[in-house]
A and B are shown apart, each in its own frame.
Chain A
Amino acid sequence: MKTILRAQHLSKTYGLGGLFRRAKINALDDVNLNVESDQPVVVSLVGESGSGKTTFAKVVLRLVEPSAGRVVVFDQPVAGKGVKPDKREFLSIVQPIFQNPFEAFSSYRNVDSYLMETAIQVNGLKQAEAVEVVADALASVGLKYEDVKGKYYNQFSGGELQRISVARALIPHPNVVIADEPVSMIDASLRMNVINLFLSLKEEFRISFLYITHDLATAYYVSDHVAVLYRGNVVEFGPARLVLTDPRHPYTRLLLDSIPLTNRKWESKQIVLADIETKEYQLEGCKFRNRCPYAREICGRQRPPLVKLEDGREVYCHMVAGHF
């Protein structure tokens, strides 16, 4: 079996504030994830803002150096102390798609020049060969090279631009694509076109996706596995259908309870307000305890242990562990 994605004791600490009263934020705090499969999979990372989703993506993409721990993608170590993969080789395994397609392309450059650049620099092709590869990549996302060539980003809709971003990512035939909130800037009527594209690429090119989102409904639709993050900690990880329909961690429950669905009205009225956010990162024990309706004394004292459930799920919670 291939290791699609493995994070071991992954941590990243950012400094916050000025010279004085400097605070530390553990954007990732001892994150452990392991996805092994022979088939391509979609792994979703969900959580609210400040949960560490984007930091995780940046570490995997080698844009940020982790403070501790290491990451393996498709059997290759990609981040961690002393890990220095060859750049070209790395980019042919892992490719990114970013959140805002309108900001990903410069207004001074033709959109197709980004695709050509990837084909020439990463695949090492000559100009003439590159055109063919670019045209193929665009065709696989349902666009024609002639319709894209020589145009600027403002001549496309958000959905089309994001397809072009996907086409660019496909050029080096990567094994894993990291998509950080790829549809949040796209209009609702076009969103599913991009999401369905991921599913068909997964089948056709056997590409695995790390899908990072705050939208639990699309995560449910697209993923095989889901990891729920809270303040830099994984709180629940497992098969998407189990985690999102029968959550075991109180935070996953709160999150699922709060999303405005279009088929079921909200029932409960009272919600728990967040604590001062920056303080939560530094809490010992469970970081969710101040908002958790079930919190007990042990939650403040001890870090929640990993509980492996029979259904293949991993939950970090004292209550699930049966400590009270």
Chain B
Amino acid sequence: MIKLDDIVASYTTIRGQVNAVDGVSLDIPRGHIVGVAGESGCGKTTLLKVLYGDLGFPLSLKRGTVRYGFRDGDGKEVTSSNIKEFWFRRISYVPQGSMSSLNPVVRIRKQFTDFRGRGESERGVLERVREYIRSLDLPPEALDAYPHQLSGGMRQRIMIAMATFFQPDIILADEPTTALDVVVQKGILLLLKELQERMGNTIIIVSHDMGVHYQIAHKVLVMYAAKAVEFGDSVVVFESALHPYTKMLIESLPTIGDDQRRQGVVGRPPSLWEDLQGCRFAPRCPLATELCRTKEPPLRELQPGHWVACHYADDGL
């Protein structure tokens, strides 16, 4: 279980501080693919950075901690303060646009062996890397190539291979397939899914594409304006969402073979610079009441494993 306790993460800017994640408390069960959905600016990527412990100017953790559910060598519980020591071995990160993060003047194999542990020979590691690459159905020749010689999809697969090489407990992937074609995207998502099934680890995948979550995530977290608004099994969320935002978002998506007229959500997300009171979705919500505008709804477990932050979720929207 990864426990997030009242996470407030803020960016320091010229205008002052802005909370990109504002009070998120959540227990993420192990051994699942967890999708994080939401629109741009809702705090998906920031949440992932906090989970990775990649905190540094301008991002800081103002409040709260993350507990990862394992202990370090001295028996101390690992939290956001010391997770860095476990990068790559127990937690790894596939950043956004990661297919452009390979060093263009260094061969792939060199970049693989860069982070080998002390006492391991380069040749030994390389042998294991080749074996691993082959097990993912990637051509081992790709290791001898420079990044520009590979297609975007292949580079992304290499990045995923790097992130999973040490079989970490937790893999964080930020929009791993954005900017890739759908045919390539499907291959990469199925690769991630297969890896998860093989290793039984936790994969947290951020995507703005609801279809991606429906296809591979076991659980979905929906974020809106720096808050977690709904969390539950993806099948349940897609079939019977409890939060009006999730419901409207899913209903707005056109599907092939369905000629129903779709409506977008009226209005726009609030600016995080404003002093926000009550439910942040209230200005766009057709069901909002005075209570919604004044009192913030807490994220509560309405049905076993299905969490929602809405005052009226139990009334059946």
Which residues from chain A contact B189 at a C-beta distance below 8 Å? Answer: 260
User: Is the beta-carbon distance between A216 and B151 smaller than 8 angstroms?
Assistant: no
Total inter-chain residue pairs, C-beta < 8 Å? 120
Is A273 interfacial (CB 8 A cutoff)?
yes
Please report whether the interface of chain A is mostly helix, strand, loop or mixed according to DSSP: helix
5 pairs of A and B residues whose beta carbons are closest in the complex: A260-B211, A192-B264, A193-B264, A221-B254, A48-B181
User: Is the beta-carbon distance between A259 and B211 smaller than 8 angstroms?
Assistant: yes
User: Is the beta-carbon distance between B190 and A220 smaller than 8 angstroms?
Assistant: no
What are 28 of the A-B contact pairs (CB < 8 Å)? Answer: A48-B181, A159-B264, A188-B39, A189-B248, A189-B264, A189-B265, A193-B266, A194-B264, A195-B254, A196-B261, A214-B181, A216-B182, A216-B256, A217-B256, A221-B254, A245-B256, A258-B182, A260-B211, A260-B214, A260-B215, A261-B214, A262-B210, A269-B190, A271-B186, A272-B183, A273-B153, A273-B187, A274-B153
A277 to B180, alpha carbons, bound, how many Å? 13
Is A104 interfacial (CB 8 A cutoff)?
no
User: Is the beta-carbon distance between A188 and B211 smaller than 8 angstroms?
Assistant: no
User: Is the beta-carbon distance between A262 and B190 smaller than 8 angstroms?
Assistant: no
Is B111 interfacial (CB 8 A cutoff)?
no
User: Is the beta-carbon distance between B208 and A188 smaller than 8 angstroms?
Assistant: yes
Which residues from chain B contact A260 at a C-beta distance below 8 Å? Answer: 182, 185-186, 189, 209, 211-212, 214-215
Is A112 interfacial (CB 8 A cutoff)?
no
Is A201 interfacial (CB 8 A cutoff)?
no
Is A255 interfacial (CB 8 A cutoff)?
yes
A216 to B185, alpha carbons, bound, how many Å? 14
Q: Which of chain A's residues has its CB closest to B40's CB?
A: A187
Is A157 interfacial (CB 8 A cutoff)?
yes
Q: Which residues of A (254-268) have their CB < 8 Å from a CB of B?
A: 254-263, 265-266
Report the minimal beta-carbon distance from A198 to chain B, rounded to whole angstroms: 12
A259 to B255, alpha carbons, bound, how many Å? 10
User: Is the beta-carbon distance between A262 and B238 smaller than 8 angstroms?
Assistant: yes
Report the minimal beta-carbon distance from A203 to chain B, rounded to whole angstroms: 13
Apart from A48-B181, A191-B264, A262-B255: 16 A-B pairs, beta carbons within 8 A: A160-B268, A188-B208, A190-B268, A191-B252, A192-B263, A196-B263, A214-B181, A216-B182, A220-B254, A260-B185, A262-B210, A262-B211, A262-B250, A263-B255, A269-B190, A271-B186
Contact of B256 among A187, A220, A254, A258 (CB under 8 A): A220
- Binary interface encoding of chain A residues 175-194 relative to chain B, with 1 for a CB under 8 A from any of its CBs, else 0: 00000000000011111111
Is A107 interfacial (CB 8 A cutoff)?
no
Report the minimal beta-carbon distance from A210 to chain B, rounded to whole angstroms: 19
Q: Which residues of A (145-199) have their CB < 8 Å from a CB of B?
A: 157, 159-160, 187-196
Is B134 interfacial (CB 8 A cutoff)?
no
Q: Which residues of B (192-237) have their CB < 8 Å from a CB of A?
A: 208-212, 214-215
